[in-house]
Chains A and B, each alone.
Chain A
Amino acid sequence: MDKFGLYVPQLLSFRERFLPQSHPACMGCGVALGIRQTYKALEDKRGWMKGASWEIPWRQPLPGSLSKSKKEAMEEIKPSLLGIEKDSQSSLLICFDNEAVEGRPGPAMFKKRFTAVAVARGFHYVATACPSYPFDLIDKVQRGMETQGNSYLHILSPCPVAWDFESELTVKIGRLAVECAIFPLYEAVTGSYRLTVDHPQIRPVEQYLKIQKRFKRFTQKEISEIQAAADRDYATLKEGEV
């Protein structure tokens, strides 16, 4: 991305396959933004299931899953990770994660476990992305489609309602999550990890936590624990091991 300048959005096609008419998202929704950017990447692809109200079908988890615990939610998503590997020879599974089922999220633990499950099950291309970095996301979706074999993509989608911030800060908070190393952007091609966005200066996690009201009860001790865990995870990622 370094070789492109400010005008890189002009390179995208201006055809809109994403239909804002048919989604129930709130204003400033990170999931809607992520789906729209995914559609930008899937420019000429067709859905495998005809007849959705959108041109490419998608599935929303049942509302009941919101009240489940973290473990139950894991159990719900795991079969799709495991089943896809068994059933198909080439596929792309995208998980839009708005952290709704986590009571008190630790730093990157939950996300790393999902990508780690996918890597351990032999997925050929596993990556994390965030709609605040749209061209990184578009590259990863296209790469996942091109890969022969199964691919898994984990997309962090800030949620203004559950995370309790103003709707205009969606993109900024996603960027802070990456810059504070809470949600590092990496890809794993056949099991070898590589950071795709590596900031020279990592911000303290306090900036990410203070801006959202869901973390307002965190004490200084807990913040320093999260900082230590984020630093440790980021250092191991940087060396290419997980």
Chain B
Amino acid sequence: MAKKLRVVKGPETHSWQDIRVGCVLLEEGKAKPFKPGQKPALVPVWDKEMCVRCGLCYIFCPDAAIKRGSDGYYELHPDTCKGCGICHQECWFGAISMTEEG
């Protein structure tokens, strides 16, 4: 009986025929649709009463996990956060606290 192969599915399924000679990729940003794996232990939570919407947490995030919402406040992009705590450390107003997810 043939062993069932484990297939890793991307946003579209690719086969070996799609691979170019020399493994050359012809498009930029191929990794964009994928998501990193593990969830962090602690994630930042904003206190909207203390936040002044300065954006320091946004510019100091190493994983591009903070995005600007439509109301001007900053919010978490939970897929890419690694829970390093730089935003909590660098917030001038103490508006960010690191809490357990859920």
Chain A positions near chain B (C-beta within 8 angstroms): 6-7, 9-10, 12, 14, 16, 18-22, 25-30, 32-33, 36-37, 40, 47, 50-55, 131, 134, 160, 166-172
Contact = CB atoms under 8 A, between A and B. Distances in A.
B37 to A, nearest CB: 10
Contact of B55 (A9, A51, A52): A9
B89 A172 contact: yes
Interface in B13-60: 24-32, 34-36, 40, 52-56, 58-60
Given A9-B59, A21-B35, A16 B54 contact: no
B28 A170 contact: no
Interface string B55-94: 1101111111101100000000000101111101110100
Tell me which of A25, A29, A170 has the highest count of chain B C-beta atoms within 10 A of its own C-beta.
Answer: A170
Contact of B29 (A19, A25, A30, A170): A19
Given A9-B55, A20-B64, 6 more contacts: A9-B54, A10-B53, A25-B62, A29-B62, A50-B25, A170-B62
A9 B57 CA distance: 9
Contact of B60 (A10, A12, A134): A134
Interface residues of B, number: 38
A52 B86 contact: no
Contacts of A134: 59-60
Nearest to A160: B84
A15 to B, nearest CB: 11
Nearest to B72: A10
Interface of B: 24-32, 34-36, 40, 52-56, 58-65, 67-68, 80, 82-86, 88-90, 92
A12 B27 contact: no
A51 B62 contact: no
Residues of B contacting A: mostly: loop
Contact of B62 (A9, A32, A52, A53): A32
Contacts, number: 110
Nearest to A175: B90
23 contacts: A6-B54, A7-B55, A9-B55, A9-B56, A9-B58, A10-B53, A14-B68, A21-B35, A21-B36, A22-B31, A26-B82, A27-B82, A33-B62, A51-B24, A53-B29, A55-B29, A134-B59, A167-B84, A168-B89, A169-B89, A170-B62, A170-B86, A171-B60
A28 B64 CA distance: 12
Tell me which of B26, B40, B60 has the highest count of chain A C-beta atoms within 10 A of its own C-beta.
Answer: B60
A55 B85 CA distance: 27
